[in-house]
A and B are shown apart, each in its own frame.
Chain A
């Protein structure tokens, strides 16, 4: 009465016997799903980027055979990317760097305070810091759209305090509003990973630094900061990746061509018809541009999965 299946592989660690396809079977649905609905769509994007265009409707005609691929439209779009779109790209990079820098300063301060001085209130602090995760991004932006209206509360406070004589139209393409919106939108995603790293730092390291004669400032600079470097890098990547594809913050808080970012180019190419393969090519550019931070993030996540 042999109930064990014939083909089986021996698991090195446990010594238990498993049918050979036992574990791969678990991973199969997910793997297939991703192959069909993640890899294949991306192949379509590439086929459109290297494909041609319908002469009448100007809609893209994907070419699925790599040997028939043409670089004509790609070159044309590259020409735009290095010419007409250059100001947009530079603006995107400036906005993202500014917003990320502001995020980092405040996120680090908050995470450091909660990790080191949270004490009994740590649970409360964490609940308050996690709350934005459960509030929709749209709602958080919507609340600022309402606060920043010409007759909104921000303007009434400013005019009441006589800081400005007239209400400011914050939503008419003010770069400050867009950068603030980006900071507001993404800073929660930075605080939690930073907190995770800072909370794991052994307090005795800091005490050792102080015992050896360093003051607060040097202890922070030579002990805490180096120990939290992986956390800083990870949180920078977490925040900048979506920022480069962000169009909604900009659309909601400004909507003006004066503050257009790269995400807006992508979104506009989707909303307008007859633009040929533009959307696909822009997606391709963005993926190539973000490849290094994405690979870094993936490597870090995979590392965390191996040894925690």
Chain B
């Protein structure tokens, strides 16, 4: 998967949690918890969805690396399964 594909997946899953948010307008470096108002349950649902969709294991200790759009994409790119 390319950077663009992964970004699309991340945005789709965030939109499932925050349907009213236009993800294109979210600052990719902003903390998602504030930028799109998600709580720990939302974030866990996001991690769960990404895990199911991409098959990437995301241990709890790595959560802080995924709190921005750019951070999440970079993390998932680095941990993606070989094609």
Partners in one complex: no
